[in-house]
Structure 1
Amino acid sequence: MSMVSYAQNFEDIMLWRALKHIKHGFYIDVGAQDPLIDSVSKVFYEQGWRGVHVEPTQQYADKLRKARPGETIMQVAVSNQPGSIVLYEFADTGLSTANRDIALRHKTTGFVCTEAEVQLITLDEVFNQVVTDEVHWLKIDVEGLEKSVLESWTADDIRPWILVIESTKPNTQEESYQEWEFLVLQKGYQFAYFDGLNRFYISNEHLELGNFFKIAPNIFDGFALSGYASHPFTRHLNHQIVELNASLQQAEHTHRAQLDAMRASTSWRITRPIRLLKRFFERLNSAKVEWRVGAEIRHRLINFICYLSKVVLDNRVLRYGFIRILAKHPKLKSKIRNRLFALTKRNDLIGLDLKHQSVNQFYSVKAAKIFSDLKKATAKRGAE
């Protein structure tokens, strides 16, 4: 099945490859961060899975609550000690940590830090939020505090099938799993895969899943990039999207300015009655309801059209265009002609046809005089 990867390092692809046969599974994400960007759980949520998110920062906890209805969001930090801890938050990043040394290192590289006190709970207490018999995967991404989290896991009644644990020091390729891996192995898990950032472990009860971790994500996994992950694979594409959006906005602004200028022009205002009548006639014709409406409605429509027609016909500029429009609707032209004569008793409106109209009806007095002089001069030259 084709799917979209949202995770930073294709963790979701590896997990889905092993667990896609599970319908409506369950997960626990410790250090969940954003519900979309770099999210490991997003693709599972889209497939009907649900889970528990542990996220101590206010920013991302609020995002999770808004984006993930039906899931449990715990705004706490996980540790082997009760009480509270100072969290060093780096907004709009996944670098927030309770490790002071790591926070100082981030600040020296230019990141802005704020401090917040958050409650501490154990991993056992997180497991108490589980409302199912099985947890299919557990991810731990706590920026250097992996050992403390694993030490807070003492219960044996909940055993996630697969563990995904960040195993390098933040923003480096230096591995740190030696500090805590023994705790995982003692729990009855086997190492299965290292993706350059995380280590994957499989419980002894489900070692058959190890076959899915022999190779890295590849073309046969049939997935596409979401464009939201922070990895560099979509950086060029995202840059192109930004440029295209900017070009589109500029084109829209130019088009709107041209449209506003046209609508503000004198000719546009003068020809407005013709456009209204033309639009009305087109609607009547396309809907084939010109003469299907009731007698009373038809009577009112004709009177209204006649009123507008009289206004247009009294205008030298608009008269010619109006008659050309009526020429395309002979039935309506006949109705208007008869009704106008009944209402106005004006013989000059009976024809409503180009061949019956004098040129003087379409030109100003000055233009008509010039045309008349030209006509006389032409006739005189022909006589000579």
Structure 2
Amino acid sequence: MTFISYSQNFEDVLLWRALGKIQHGFYIDVGANDPELHSVTKAFYDAGWHGVNVEPMPSYRQPFVEQRPRDINLTCAAGAEQGEITLFDVPSMNGWASTDAAVAKEHRAEGYDVTEVKVPMRTLADICAEHAQGEIHFLKIDVEGFEGEVLKGMDFQRWRPWVLVIEATLPGQRTTNHETWEHLVLPHGYRYAYFDGLNRYYVADEHSELLAALDIQPNVFDEFITHHLDKAWAKGKDLSRQVKEGWERIEQLDGYANELSGNLDQSQQDNAKLHQALESEQAHSAKVTDELLQTQVKLHALEARAEALQATLNSTDAWGKDLEQRLLAVYASTSWRITAPMRFIMRRGDNSPANLVKRKAKGALRRGLKWLTSRESLRRATLPIIARSPWLQQKVAATLAAAKSATAPDAQTAPDVPELLRALPQSARTVLADLQRAFEQQAKH
């Protein structure tokens, strides 16, 4: 199984080489800083271990609470005594927080901003007394130059970590500083094991068998990779999976595109048919519209004709009613009753003696007047005589008018007969004319 290293200088690889066979081990990390980045304990926590994380920066506590629920996460500094201490932090550089004023001065001299914060301080012995319930398999100390003060607060007679990992260079430098604090370790039954360029490793005398596992740097036989590489590989695998899925999706889309292309061709054909059908329907609609307009014109003409016929009918009906009233008035008049005997005689026929005499007299009179008027000399002699008698003048004029009208076409037709009734037979028109004249005579009387 490949080991994944999270630490800055492969400290966890060396510790895993020496302690990896231990199940559910226990650690103490002084200056823990971050639960994952440059963490010496992350790989062990993932393997089922637990322990105590001592980190004085209050702003670093929450990630430990969230990511290390099995661990004990303390927000305090470890020192030679109980109390309070000023912590010097470099916000722009993660992991550079220190309790050493001299280190802070150097950071300022290098141009870094340094902030100060007061934090509580406890001894390492007190922390072990409260939280260590059994073996402490390794103790790691990385406090940016404050390592000696931390070691002063530890009771190595009572608490015996199997392995010590202590930062042994000045902050940010290759210069070692272990000579300032190593005398607090070696006299208490610990042997120097290894220096990795940043940290010095020590093994308790009672676990000297671990020295052999710590005498050489991490190498290919440790079968490890960094967590950065592991994440890169995981990301690469994820990208490969996404690429594969992308190609599969492209193939699906390509098939779908081909299907859509076929559907598009069919749709275009259907659209062409629909367009033709639409044009046909539009032409038919135009024809129907034209026929409708023509029908409307004819309908309007028929309506006008119907109105004219209705007007004629109304006029004829009014004329007929008026004529009927007149006829009834004639029948009811005194003259009609008085002349009844005469009409009786007249109805006996045109060949009755009275009618024969009357016709002969009228004919002789007309012929005489016609002959008289055709003679210029007689007409000149006669006209002054006729002019002296109004009655005679009236009779002559009436006789001449009757003679003239007798020779004119449609003489028997009443002048006020409506146009529609002029198509009646001559006999019917004669009766109507007689009725008209009778009414006029009645009106004169």
Task: Give the TM-score band, short-chain normalised.
Answer: 0.5 to 0.7
Residues paired across the two proteins, number: 262
User: Any idea what SS the aligned residue of 2:4 has?
Assistant: strand
Q: In structure 1, what is the Cα distance between the partners aligned to 2:113 and 2:276? A: 74
Do the aligned partners of 2:7 and 2:39 also contact (CA within 8 Å) in 1? yes
Q: In structure 2, what is the Cα distance between the partners aligned to 1:359 and 1:8? A: 73
2:274 to 361, 364, 368: 361
How large is the RMSD of aligned CA atoms in angstroms?
3.6
Deviations 1:355-374 (A, max 9, x none): xx7953256856999xxxxx
Q: 1:23-42, aligned counterparts within 5 Å?
A: 23-42=23-42
Q: 1:341-352, aligned counterparts within 5 Å?
A: none
Do the aligned partners of 1:167 and 1:197 also contact (CA within 8 Å) in 2? yes
Query: How has the CA–CA distance of structure 1 residues 320 and 80 changed in structure 2, closer, same or farther, with 3 Å as cutoff?
Result: same
Mapped pair 1:12 → 2:1: no
Q: Aligned AA for 2:212?
A: N
Runs of 4+ in structure 1 off by over 4 angstroms are 317-320, 362-369
Q: Aligned AA for 2:56?
A: P
Flag the structure with larger Rg: 2
User: Any idea what SS the aligned residue of 1:227 has?
Assistant: helix
Segments of structure 1 that go 5 or more residues without pairing to the other structure are 253-273, 276-316, 325-353, 370-384
Deviations 1:215-245 (A, max 9, x none): 110000000111289xxxx9xx89xx9xxx9
Corresponding residue for residue 223 of structure 2: 222
User: 1:66 Cα shift?
Assistant: 1.5
Do the aligned partners of 1:38 and 1:228 also contact (CA within 8 Å) in 2? no
User: Any idea what SS the aligned residue of 1:87 has?
Assistant: strand
Mapped pair 1:3 → 2:27: no
Q: Aligned AA for 1:31?
A: G
Structure having the larger proportion of residues in helix: 2
Corresponding residue for residue 341 of structure 1: none
Deviations 1:328-372 (A, max 9, x none): xxxxxxxxxxxxxxxxxxxxxxxxxx8xx7953256856999xxx
Deviations 1:291-322 (A, max 9, x none): xxxxxxxxxxxxxxxxxxxxxxxxxx99954x
Corresponding residue for residue 67 of structure 2: 67
Q: In structure 1, what is the Cα distance between the partners aligned to 2:166 and 2:187? A: 15
User: 1:130 Cα shift?
Assistant: 2.8
Query: How has the CA–CA distance of structure 1 residues 128 and 367 changed in structure 2, closer, same or farther, with 3 Å as cutoff?
Result: farther
Do the aligned partners of 1:52 and 1:129 also contact (CA within 8 Å) in 2? no
Identity level (%): 39
User: 1:119 Cα shift?
Assistant: 0.6
Deviations 1:69-113 (A, max 9, x none): 111011111111321111011235111011112112112323222
User: Any idea what SS the aligned residue of 1:53 has?
Assistant: strand
Q: In structure 2, what is the Cα distance between the partners aligned to 1:210 and 1:362? A: 92
Deviations 1:16-54 (A, max 9, x none): 000011001000000000111100000000000000000
Corresponding residue for residue 56 of structure 1: 56
Corresponding residue for residue 259 of structure 1: none
User: Any idea what SS the aligned residue of 1:27 has?
Assistant: strand
Q: In structure 2, what is the Cα distance between the partners aligned to 1:367 and 1:143? A: 93
Do the aligned partners of 1:37 and 1:228 also contact (CA within 8 Å) in 2? no
- Normalised by the length of structure 2, the TM-score is 0.53
Do the aligned partners of 1:359 and 1:368 also contact (CA within 8 Å) in 2? no
Q: In structure 2, what is the Cα distance between the partners aligned to 1:186 and 1:360? A: 103
Do the aligned partners of 1:320 and 1:362 also contact (CA within 8 Å) in 2? no
Q: In structure 2, what is the Cα distance between the partners aligned to 1:216 and 1:190? A: 18
- Normalised by the length of structure 1, the TM-score is 0.62
Deviations 1:138-158 (A, max 9, x none): 000011111111111135222
User: Any idea what SS the aligned residue of 1:190 has?
Assistant: strand
Deviations 1:149-184 (A, max 9, x none): 111113522200000000000000111000111110
Corresponding residue for residue 207 of structure 2: 206
Q: Aligned AA for 1:210?
A: L
